[in-house]
Amino acid sequence: MLDLITALYCRLSNDDDLQGESNSITNQKAMLQKYAEDNGFRNIQFYVDDGFSGTNFNRPDFIRMIDDVKAGKVGVIITKDLSRFGRDYLMTGQYIEIVLPDYDVRYIAVNDGVDTLRSENEMMVFKNVFNDWYARDTSKKIKAVFKAKGQSGKPLATNVPYGYKKSEEDKNVWEIDENTAPVVRRIFQLCIEGLGPAQIARKLTKESVVSPQSYKLSTSGKCAGLPARNSQKWSCETVKKILSRAEYVGHTVNFKTRKKNYKSKKKIENPVEEWQIFKNTHDAIVSQEDFDLVQEIRANKRKKLTRHEEISPFSGMVYCADCGKLLYLARARTMGDDYEHLKCSTYAFDVSACTVHYIRTSVLTEILLSELNKICETVRENEDEFLKIAAEHSSYKVSAELKSAKKKLAQTDKRIAELDRLFVRLYEDNVSGKISDERFSLMSANYEAEQKELKKLSEELNTAIQETEQQTADTEQFIKAVRKYTEITELTPEIMHELIEKIVVHAPDKSSGKRTQQIDIYYRFNVAISSATVTRAKRKTA
């Protein structure tokens, strides 16, 4: 006859550990072994889960024990008390009252006086509920502690982002990890140069750069002898995550995720407006300018071109002057470089919705190289004059926007105040009997609806004014970027995004018998706008 296992199950969570030695694994093992020996249980085998919550039933040794139960190897399971088995009353009850009896397994909780071989287990249900309530109460307390910690600006993330490490003096302080920070900087630079996340991932994998997961495993001591192929594998999602993390500019971002309840382990993404961002809490790995540039590039990301590996410098940069939509790149294997062109996406979809806006990329490249080299030369030869012109341009634009917004805000606030006075007069007329209750209800409802809309508009205008007043022309940053280039001979995504905000293409004018087309170039930081005109004889195009 098979000598069935007497399973002595021990569990300890982080919360239990705080309560002292009585719940320690050593104490549980000693107590259970003595109980088994005193009561004649043989073939003892320990199953131990150290550091696992009772609400989680995906514990390694618990699963191993249940597998042995289902294999017919276990005759008895003994725990110190019901809470060691689990703190979810539904799952605990299902195992003890359904699963274990189905496999003829006896269950004993020593301190709670539970033994399924006997009949007097009526209080077990209530004890399981109390254990569940304890877990719920503990969860609330932990959430309160985490909320207070998060609102104080300390990082809530258990694992520091790739590129950082925890300070040895204070675990709440992040320090730059010089082993991995250069990789983060390179990822941002490759994105600025025009490579997409998938291309960056392939490049890093090809160069055998250790991935974040593998680096963490190798430095934490939890993984010895990690296969080399794993350490070289980078995923597109990993690169995307790195490129989107504000932590790399020195900020702490808390409350990004939440859980539905204390039993659920699944993380839910919180809306961005619910995040709490604390600026300049640790040293930055990348500059704010590079981070903002990458976010702009990623926001205007386009599909990889089918004919060339490189990304077009015009992707997400060229707009239609009439409908405001992006011009998309028309390119095919059978199309020569001279016929590669950009055209309005609205017109391509519906010819009646916009006019044809079409320009060859070779022509646009020639124009931009000329205009960019002009502005670079101006900056080099007369930097002070350029600063003055740029400041005047930005100030004029901001001043015009402020004047218009403030005028509209004054009108809105005046009408809101007027409606308040009308409400008072309307109420007095109703009380005195000058207008009926029905008329009063109708008029007051109309006034309330109007005032609600006006208050909403007032808030929007106030926000717009505050943003405009804070906006300044960062001409020094633009000049810093320009100084990098003595002469621009080739357009790259990096140059385009560093120096140019957008390009606006107007519809061609053919009234003179020649094709004349205006191109507006908006430089970054509102430092300047330049226009160029393309003129050529009217001819049939492919």
Please give the C-alpha separations between residue 113 and each of 79, 116, 117, 121, 130, in angstroms, as whole numbers. 11, 10, 12, 8, 15
pLDDT digits (tens, 9 = 90+) for 253-293: 887 777 765 555 667 777 877 788 888 888 889 888 788 87
Angle at 512 between CA 509 and CA 516, to 5 degrees: 35
For residues 343-349, average pLDDT: 81
Task: For residue 350, name the pLDDT band (cuts at 50, 70, 90).
Answer: confident
Tell me the whole-structure pTM to 2 decimals: 0.48
Tokens at 23, concatenated: 């719940």
Average pLDDT of the chain to the nearest whole number:
78
pLDDT of residue 420: 81
For the chain, what percent of residues have pLDDT higher than 70? 75
Angle at 156 between CA 152 and CA 161, to 5 degrees: 125
Is the model more confident about 15 or about 38? 38
Q: Is the pLDDT of residue 354 over 80?
A: yes
Q: Is the pLDDT of residue 84 over 80?
A: yes
With a CB cutoff of 8 Å and minimum separation 6, the contacts of 249 are 284, 285, 286, 287, 288, 291
For residues 205-211, average pLDDT: 88
Q: CA end-to-end span of the chain, whole Å?
A: 89
Is the model more confident about 139 or about 104? 104
Q: Is the pLDDT of residue 8 over 90?
A: yes
Is the model more confident about 144 or about 74? 74
Tabulate helix, strand, coil % of the chain (nearest 5): 50, 15, 35
pLDDT of residue 10: 93
pLDDT digits (tens, 9 = 90+) for 429-483: 888 888 888 887 888 888 788 888 888 887 877 776 665 554 444 566 677 777 7
d(CA 369, CA 381): 18
Is the distance from CB of 384 to CB of 396 less than 8 angstroms?
A: no
Task: Please tell me the class of the 164-298 domain.
Answer: alpha beta
Is the distance from CB of 79 to CB of 92 less than 8 angstroms?
A: no
- Cα dihedral 173, 218, 241, 150 in deg (nearest 10): -30
Amino acid sitting at position 367:
I
How many other CB atoms sit within 10 Å of the CB of residue 334?
6
Q: Where are the alpha helices (DSSP H) in 266-382?
A: 288-299, 345-349, 361-381
Tokens at 196, concatenated: 């997409």
Please state the domain extents for the chain: 5-146, 164-298, 395-472
Spell out a b/e string for 453-462, using b for 16 or more CB atoms within 10 Å of the CB, else e: ebeebbeebe
Candidates 456, 458, 463; CA nearest to 412 is 458
Evaluated on CA atoms 381, 385, 388, 394, the torsion sign reads negative
Q: Specify which residues 106 forms β-bridges with.
A: 76
With a CB cutoff of 8 Å and minimum separation 6, the contacts of 36 are 6, 8, 44, 78
With a CB cutoff of 8 Å and minimum separation 6, the contacts of 491 are 313, 365, 368, 369
Topology of domain 5-146, CATH: Rossmann fold (3.40.50)
Q: Counting Cβ atoms within 10 Å, is residue 217 exposed (0-12), middle (13-18) or buried (19+)?
A: middle
For residues 339-348, average pLDDT: 81
For the chain, what percent of residues have pLDDT higher than 90? 12
Residue 336 has phi, psi (to 5 degrees) of -70, 160
Q: Is the pLDDT of residue 542 over 60?
A: no
Is the model more confident about 469 or about 82? 82
pLDDT of residue 233: 82
Q: Is the pLDDT of residue 79 over 90?
A: yes
Q: Is the pLDDT of residue 307 over 70?
A: no
* SS3 letters across 54-95: CCCCCCHHHHHHHHHHHCCCEEEEEECCHHHHCCCHHHHHHH
pLDDT of residue 73: 93
